[in-house]
Structure 1
């Protein structure tokens, strides 16, 4: 065992429990009262595709559309820099494409071609919403099975508790601040599950190892030693990931802003939960050395023939 300083992480477990409970109450209350601000992927809406002669300024297009009354317009390139796809959250209007084209043509020194004006019905959005939710539940169930098989059932409960904690807080963040929740954000939430699980697995592996090596230590001491030993790895991984996500959130553009923000919140809260949720749940469930001891092999008694 190393003689380096061991941090008393579990000394703050009651404060951490209260903090997590507060975040969860705020998240669940906001989800119940405000709900999520679903994007067009889930709610349905209109799609308008335009063709420019040369690559336009997307920010200028957004400003023009806001000036024309289309405040919820999502503008992105489609295939090439001169192909522009505009998504609008409103009912189908056969003349919508012409109205958008007219609004954007003002002040332009190039010809704009209307290529497509379609409507994505609400039924499609409803199916995407249901399948996304079912996919998330299936992911959590499979994770619970995997962790129980690799470690022990108490580790499984702790890992899934941490993942549910992370997912609810990320969803609560989008509900409280009413940011658009679309398929890219859903993909980020699933990525948060993977990131948080990886961190929790690393910590759990060290906890299991130390339970078998530190025979005279208490469960709390083993938790503190394990978390201290994995702290450097956790911080280096989290900080390097955060550097990329901050850059994406600031200069990545509108299309991936929600994705970057979801991962940003998820990585921060996932790092916290791998220390103060998963390990805390193990202590609450009374994890002990006997839980991790391999089962004794029963010796078979063979009757001797006379």
Structure 2
């Protein structure tokens, strides 16, 4: 069933209001709760151990969490009984791990261990922040060149909205934030921008082709014209990322969750904020009207 112009406009504005509420909640949680920084940012120990092949991940993790009094990452290796352990305690790995491992396994062998120092973690925080800032600056320059400033601002606000929602999710759930999650955030930047540009570009074409129509009608028509393409693109990508979530194991779980939320938010915000905000700021077809040179005055 096709929505009328009035109904579609009401849906867009309602979606924008929900987006603004979610954005405010995400900012609040990020400000007050912060992130559960992973070893990549805080520093810590990574150890590879060999235990009895009968040990399962849930049993191993529960024992280590209780013994070390923190959330220990447990990643299974390709070889049965071989595990990679990551935790934040900066004591000697053999002294801290061996008693905990011996309580659940008769055979304990520490194969190797390495330390990520806090200075390295601080460098990663700074480099990650610079990478996100550089993406925003380059995106802003591209949008300013490609579109009139109102549509460019709408796409940029939608981009910020998507990133903040993803970060807010990790602040609310306190899932570990590591370099893998940072890579997912950067991927969401590109995906969200793609969706916003498609709809904004269609709106710009309609503004040029039908200068006598109202902005509300043209924006609704641009959303309709790109809706099926948006759903197909987002749907196929979500299927792939969902497969990573379900089958990729703990190592890729955070990455897949961040991408799933980012893709869903990118589709939502490109339909709502990306084109509704420019309309609220007064974008009109005449802003895209091609100026014709004045006719030269006839020579006397």
Q: Answer whether TM exceeds 0.5 for this pair.
A: yes
8 A contact 2:52–2:105 mirrored in 1: no
Give the Å deviation of 1:77. 5.0
Aligned to 2:34, the other structure's residue is in SS state: coil
Q: Tell me the equivalent position of 1:72.
A: 71
> Closer, same or farther in 2 for the Cα pair 1:299/1:39, shift >3 Å?
farther
1:216 deviates by 2.6
**2:231 is equivalent to residue 232 of structure 1:** no
Find the aligned partners of 2:182 and 2:87 in 1 and give their Cα distance: 20
**CA RMSD after TM alignment:** 2.8
- Which deviations, in whole Å up to 9, do the C-alpha atoms of 1:58-112 show, x marking residues without a partner? 444324423534541112356x54664311112x212x22442443355547x55
Match of 1:47 in 2: 46
Contact 1:6/1:228 (<8 A) preserved: no
Partner of 1:175: 171
Deviations 1:21-79 (A, max 9, x none): 2111111111111111111111111222335697975444324423534541112356x
Which residue of the partner structure matches residue 112 of structure 2?
Answer: 116
Residue 87 of structure 1 aligns to a residue whose secondary structure is strand
Distance 1:62 1:5 in 2: 52
Alpha-carbon spacing, 1:52–1:108, altered in 2? closer, same or farther (3 Å): closer
Q: Does 1:265 align with 2:264?
A: no
1:218 positional shift: 0.6
Task: Report the TM-score, using the length of structure 2 for normalisation.
Answer: 0.87
Contact 1:50 1:115 in 2 (8 A): yes
Judge conservation of contact 2:207–2:218 (CA < 8 Å) in 1. Answer: yes
Q: After superposition, give the CA deviation of every residue in 1:134-167 in whole Å (9 maximum; x if it has no partner).
A: 2111101101111221222222211111000111
Change (3 A) 1:246 1:9: same
Equivalent residue number for residue 285 of structure 2: 289
Change (3 A) 1:195 1:115: same
* Equivalent pairs, count: 295
5+ residue gaps, structure 2? none
Residues 55 and 81, structure 1, Cα contact 8 Å, conserved in 2: no
| 2:101 equivalent among 85, 101, 104 | 104
